[in-house]
Amino acid sequence: MDEVKFSNWDRFLSYVGLAVFLLDLVLDVLTVVAFYREGEYVYLGILVVVLVGSSLVVQVYSWLFFTKKVNGKVPTITNLSLGQLKVIHLLLMGVYLRHIISIDIVTRSCITKGQISKLSAFYASQDLSLIQVFEAFTESAPQLVLMLTNMLQRGQLHYLTVLKASGSAFAIALSLINPYRYNFLLEKKQDVGISVVYFLLNLLFISSRLSAMAMFASVHPCLIFPHCVCSWMLLFFCARRTETNFVDSPRSEWLYRGTMGLVWYFGCIKYVKRNGQYKLAVYHSLMLLDICLLCASWWWTIHTPNSIYTLVAVICVILSYVLGLMLRVVYHMLLHPYFLKPRFTWNALERVLHVLLSRFEKSRKDGEDDTLDHEETLTLYLSNS
């Protein structure tokens, strides 16, 4: 079996991921207590629903990944029995177990200077990375909108609210780094600088999108929920049309498609191979239009003739998304590990354009299947990002 080797950078990011996870848990408790003491029972209720719902979702995914069959049998990546794993997940501790397994594998690889089989790397990195992505967009993203909405309605900053909002934004952007690292760990094309650029462009997308939602929610709190539901239903329909094959059970597949609709509402995870570039362009165009409409609605409601700060805020939010798009194009054309050269030359650019043109012509002539299995899901997203 092919093997991969983890670096000290992988070990560092694994430790950071666990530290951010534990810090986020502590901040969740402090935020709940703060809302209760201040009498913000509406915010408290929404936050509790988000926390409980997200915890249940990630535990379900963790259990599905532990019991997913590969080549007709369930792989063994821990000495615990299925009964013990079921008890751990019923106690909502499945994600903690996955962090321990991941850190153990990465640490042993770095200390012993040995290599780990791709199967172990797959379950140590990709499954946990997927769970972190789902957790980020089902918990951290709604929380960030909630925190920003609270700050805008109050008109003042509270240190705990600012800390929680910053931590949520960091956690979301960091969660998208891990599957990226895993994919190119197998290809042995990792680069710390490129990971930083990838982190920044995702941070720009996330900050712009969630800030626009918070602005709209601060002046139209009764309309943000219908906006979310209607957008999610449309995106869920799009996910259903892709005919994914992510998990074994048909019911679980419906859960996955619903989760992807929520992820697309807050951010962007591309995993459809056929005509992926066109779909991604349509998605970003609609998302940018939605951001402009949300910001315009906020500005129209709150602006005054003598206040220019509201207009500056709207421009900054929109430009952040545009800057993220520009950075994504630069990343894809010059920094993507599949096209990376020791230094940039015009020949390298010509090679990139030739590869992209070849892909386009092949997709037009032959067409490709939309159905993806578990391991292809993130690989195809990252290879076309």
**What is residue 28's predicted lDDT score, i.e. its pLDDT?**
87
Average pLDDT (121-128) is: 68
Average pLDDT (151-176) is: 79
pLDDT digits (tens, 9 = 90+) for 373-384: 444 444 444 444
**What is residue 289's predicted lDDT score, i.e. its pLDDT?**
95
Residue carrying structure tokens 């780094």: 177
pTM for the whole structure: 0.78
The CA-to-CA distance between both ends of the chain, in Å, stands at 28
pLDDT digits (tens, 9 = 90+) for 333-361: 776 655 544 444 445 445 555 655 666 56
**What is residue 374's predicted lDDT score, i.e. its pLDDT?**
44
Residue 253 predicted with pLDDT over 80: yes
What angle is formed at CA 247 by the lines to CA 241 and CA 252, rounded to 5 degrees? 75
pLDDT digits (tens, 9 = 90+) for 17-30: 778 788 888 888 88
Average pLDDT, rounded, for the chain: 76
Tokens of 102: 């991941």
Helices 159-187 & 141-154 angle (0-180, nearest 10): 150
Tokens of 221: 């709190």
- Using an 8 Å Cβ cutoff, are 131 and 179 in contact? no
pLDDT digits (tens, 9 = 90+) for 100-112: 877 777 776 666 6
What angle is formed at CA 233 by the lines to CA 313 and CA 165, rounded to 5 degrees? 35
Residues 6 or more apart from 256 whose CB is under 8 A from it?
244, 246, 247
Nearest partner of 28 among 210, 176, 160, 136, judged by Cα: 160
- Report the 10 Å Cβ neighbour count for 296: 15
Nearest partner of 336 among 352, 323, 347, 324, judged by Cα: 352
SS3 339: coil
SS3 312: helix
